Amino acid sequence: MIELIELIHIILPILIVAAALVAVILKDLLSAVIAVAAMSLLLSLEFYILQAPDVAIAEAAVGACLTTAIFIIAIKGTKRMEDET
């Protein structure tokens, strides 16, 4: 019988890859940034489950929060292609 932690170790990497693929496929930059932030949060959860809480905190802080904020500020400074037509 598969235990819960083993099931999480199977499902979580699949969700991480799925979030990464969604970020690549999406055309809207803001939606892609949100997908990357979700991937980063899932990755930090995986680090925590693997008993590396310091790495998990760093990934959540830098990957999910700081990088997402920088991307959103950069996107805010650009013009949308739909507005040009």
Q: Is the pLDDT of residue 16 over 90?
A: yes
* Cα gap 63→75, rounded to integer Å: 17
pLDDT digits (tens, 9 = 90+) for 25-66: 999 999 999 999 999 999 999 999 999 999 999 999 998 899
pLDDT at 83 (0 to 100): 61
Number of structural domains (the chain) is 1
pTM: 0.85
Q: Could you tell me if residue 34 is inside a domain?
A: yes
Closest-CA residue to 23 (of 37, 43, 12):
37
Q: Could you tell me if residue 85 is inside a domain?
A: no
Instruction: Give the domain range for residue 67.
Output: 4-78
Q: Is the pLDDT of residue 8 over 60?
A: yes
Q: Could you tell me if residue 66 is inside a domain?
A: yes
Closest-CA residue to 72 (of 11, 41, 28):
28
Q: Could you tell me if residue 73 is inside a domain?
A: yes
